Amino acid sequence: MNNPLDKFGEFFIRNLRDKMLDDLEMLLAGSWKAPAVQNLQERLTAMSDDQRETIREAAEHLITTGMHDFLFALQEDSDTDGSVQVEVDGVDVAQTSDGLHGEIFTENGWIERFSQYPQKNNG
């Protein structure tokens, strides 16, 4: 993969979205050993399958919204000659996109291409 924008997209999806969803799945399965999350895990594992799916959908929505808003802020900063830049291989990725926040969506977007958790169309 030579495209700096796709390199950033894959890094962003795998190290933010997928890591957060991995953590959620471990919480729902009761897999964490850390004392700080034991009470939360117990409450989550006691939920019905439907309730746990609602938690998954809410978490995915919040994560995707946060990603969108972060990327939108990066794009806006770049468009106004701001001081925040993300460079990959010496290339400012915001300058190579007509809207970083849109790169995560669609059937050819970063989530679909790089995530181990394809986005659900929850309407």
Contact 12, 112 (CB under 8 A): no
For residue 29, count other CB atoms closer than 10 A to its CB: 12
Q: Dihedrals φ, ψ of 87, to 5°?
A: -110, 140
> What's the average pLDDT block by block, 10 residues per block, for the chain (123 residues)?
91 98 97 97 97 97 97 96 94 95 94 92 53
Q: Where are the domains of the chain?
A: 4-113
Contact 71, 100 (CB under 8 A): yes
What is the model's pLDDT at position 57? 97
Enter the tokens of residue 25: 């799945």
pTM score: 0.90
